Amino acid sequence: MTTLFEILKVILLGVVEGITEWLPISSTGHMILVEEFIQLNASDAFKEMFFVVIQLGAIMAVVLLYFNKLNPFSPSKSKQEKMDTMSIWFKVIVGVIPAGILGVLFDDWLNEHFYNYITVAITLIVYGILFIVIENRNKGKEDKITSFEDLSYKTALSIGLFQVLSLIPGTSRSGATILGAIILGTSRGIAAEYSFFLSIPIMFGASAIKLLKFGFDFTGMEITVLLTGMIVAFVISIIAIKFLLRYVKNNDFKAFGWYRIILGALVVGYFMFLG
Task: Report whether 246 contacts 238 (CB < 8 A).
Answer: no
CA distances from 233 to 34, 62, 78, 236, 240 (A): 15, 12, 34, 5, 10
Phi, psi of 43 (to 5 degrees): -70, 160
Task: Report whether 24 contacts 191 (CB < 8 A).
Answer: no
CA distance 150 to 177: 17
For residue 123, pLDDT beyond 50:
yes
Three-state DSSP state, 142: coil
Show Cβ contacts of residue 67 under 8 Å, excluding neighbours closer than 6 positions.
none
CA distance 28 to 13: 11
For residue 182, pLDDT beyond 50:
yes
CA distances from 30 to 67, 81, 209 (A): 29, 39, 23
Q: Which amino acid is at 269?
A: G
Span 136-174, pLDDT tens digits: 998 878 889 999 999 999 999 999 999 999 888 888 889
CA distance 93 to 97: 6
> Mean of the pLDDT values across residues 97-120?
84
DSSP assignment, residue 166?
G
Task: Report whether 173 contacts 108 (CB < 8 A).
Answer: no
13-44 residues labelled b (16+ CB within 10 A) or e (exposed): bbbbbbbbbbbbbbbbbbbbbbeeeeebebee
Question: What pLDDT is recorded for position 275?
Answer: 60
For residue 264, pLDDT beyond 60:
yes
Q: Range with the lowest mean pLDDT among 68-72, 234-238, 247-251?
A: 247-251
Question: What pLDDT is recorded for position 2?
Answer: 55
DSSP assignment, residue 141?
P
Question: What pLDDT is recorded for position 13?
Answer: 92
Show Cβ contacts of residue 232 under 8 Å, excluding neighbours closer than 6 positions.
10, 11, 13, 14, 15, 17, 18, 57
> Among the ranges 111-120, 194-203, 229-238, which has the highest mean pLDDT value?
229-238
pTM recorded for the entire structure: 0.88
Q: What's the mean per-residue pLDDT of the chain? A: 90
DSSP assignment, residue 185?
T
Span 198-213, pLDDT tens digits: 999 988 888 888 888 8
Question: What pLDDT is recorded for position 1?
Answer: 43
CA distance 235 to 237: 5
> Using 50, 70 and 90 to split pLDDT, how confident is the model at 269?
confident
Taking the CA of residue 250 as centre, how many other CA atoms within 13 Å lie in the half-sphere pointing to its CB? 3
Higher pLDDT, 267 or 123: 123
Q: Is the four-CA dihedral 209, 212, 216, 222 of positive or negative sign?
A: negative
Span 71-86, pLDDT tens digits: 999 999 999 999 999 9
CA distance 109 to 115: 10
Three-state DSSP state, 87: helix
H/E run at residue 256: helix 254-273
Expressed in angstroms, the distance from the first to the final Cα of the chain is 28
CA distance 61 to 27: 16
Q: Which amino acid is at 88?
A: I
> Using 50, 70 and 90 to split pLDDT, how confident is the model at 127?
very high
> Using 50, 70 and 90 to split pLDDT, how confident is the model at 65?
very high
